[in-house]
Amino acid sequence: METINERFDHLHPRSMELFQEAKAHFPNGVTHDGRRLEPFSLYTTHAAGARKWDVDGNEYVDYRMGHGALILGHSHPEIVSVVQEQMARGSHLGLSHELEIRWAENVKRLIPSIEKMRFTASGTEAAMMAIRLARAYTEKSKVLKFAEHFHGWSEYGIIGSGRSAGGVPPQILNTVVVLPHNDIDLVERTLQQDPDFAAVILEPTGSHGGMYPAYPDFLRQLREVTRKYNVLLVFDEVVTGFRISPGGAQVRYGVQPDLTCLAKILGGGLPCGAVGGRAELVDMVQFRGDAQWDGTKRVAHHGTFNANPVVAAAGLKATELVATTPVNATADRMAERLKKGLSEVFHTMKIPGCAHGVASIVNFQLANACECDRVVCTLPMEKLKAGTRPQLLQPLYRACLNAGLDWMGGTFFVSSVHTERDIDDSVNAFEKAVTACRAEGVL
């Protein structure tokens, strides 16, 4: 009988060849840290709906879904149509265009806390800009963030995210304070003791797509405390925007931040980002005709591909579909079916574990029994980390790929085009993978 790794090699010979070529061009042979895979990365050819295919002809039910961007699924026909139409008219016109106005209108209707906004080309840029706006507006230097929360790969966003911060100068490290989330007393003491905090930034459902959850009550308490100490609250909704609800986590939980970072679903699957919030904050970008303000105080903002017409067309259509069709309700229903299926696998195979997650995001951890409500897992961080350590997830992930199932780091991003058949096929594939891991002593 083949081992997991032998089966993986047998199924993916062309990917192995391409990976060997890629290593000559890219560090670790990949163009994104999250796509690194041992012993080699997979290479895909095309996708449609909830499924995708690799260069060796293997088919997968996909839950990476463009790293969470594709709540509408792959190659949604209405997105394809508007992108093709706009490409024929021009991909970059170098001036303003009406699509960006209509796109912004859709965003503001869905997310009431956004009075004004600026588009960017990525989520990393959105977080960078939000932090810059907060510092410029408050004339303060420090940012408070939370352990494992990821705000892009910039100097400020990467600190404390669980990723290496190589190359970040000590001067910048000293301006970012990292705390564990869900401890409001610690947050308040920190803000009380140091008046130099411009903003608190976090992923509102917790880090790693909610794998390590932030509690809804903590969000409400955080809003109160930041107001008390005149510190801006920034929600990084790059992952959660238009997914946790049509208006993101802030609408679902009724907590209104001062600034919001968006990307992923915002662009209908194309590269994009945005920062929005209170008008007086976003207007830090605005020229005033005053030499001192315009030359030294204003937040300058450029970006060749900001709100380019092709992305704007896709984003306009995506936000329109989120606003007017049951995109979220459908994805949420399929995610609930998936959570129940994974939980049943754990129960049937007597594996301590937990499948949990908010709305259409499903996370799981192994090795710890849990009595949470399967929405917001209440295990302490150290146990959640133990249940998602690479020694468990990596062999399980390879076994899942062998069985035709793709997910991302212990997280499943469910889309509105996943069907009951897709979910049932996925649960069966997951059970096969768990069985293979058990046979090799991994579980």
User: pLDDT, tens digit, for every residue of 82-102?
Assistant: 999 999 999 999 999 999 999
What pLDDT was estimated at residue 97? 97
- Whether 263 contacts 238, CB under 8 Å: yes
CATH number belonging to domain 77-324? 3.40.640.10
What pLDDT was estimated at residue 183? 98
Report, as an integer, the average pLDDT of 20-32. Answer: 95
Q: How far apart are CA 397 and CA 413, in angstroms?
A: 15
Structural domain boundaries of the chain?
4-74+326-439, 77-324
What pLDDT was estimated at residue 154? 92
**CATH domain 4-74+326-439 topology:** Aspartate Aminotransferase, domain 1 (3.90.1150)
Report, as an integer, the average pLDDT of 143-169. Answer: 93
Interval 212-243: pLDDT, tens: 999 999 999 999 999 999 999 999 999 999 99
Report, as an integer, the average pLDDT of 304-308. Answer: 96
φ/ψ of 333, rounded to 5, equals -65, -40
What pLDDT was estimated at residue 160? 87
What percent of the chain stands above pLDDT 70?
A: 100
What pLDDT was estimated at residue 56? 98
Interval 355-397: pLDDT, tens: 999 999 999 999 888 989 999 999 999 999 999 999 999 999 9
Interval 391-442: pLDDT, tens: 999 999 999 999 999 999 999 999 999 999 999 999 999 999 999 999 999 9
Q: How far apart are CA 62 and CA 220, in angstroms?
A: 34
pTM: 0.97
Q: Which residues contact 52 (CB under 8 A, 6 or more apart)?
A: 44, 46, 59, 60, 62, 74, 406
What pLDDT was estimated at residue 340? 97
Interval 283-302: pLDDT, tens: 999 999 999 999 999 999 99
Through-space distance between the first and last CA atoms of the chain, rounded to whole angstroms = 18
What pLDDT was estimated at residue 53? 98
Interval 34-83: pLDDT, tens: 899 999 999 999 999 999 999 999 999 999 999 999 999 999 999 999 99
What pLDDT was estimated at residue 367? 86
Q: Could you tell me the pLDDT band of residue 1, with boundaries at 50, 70 and 90? A: confident
Q: Could you tell me the pLDDT band of residue 112, with boundaries at 50, 70 and 90? A: very high
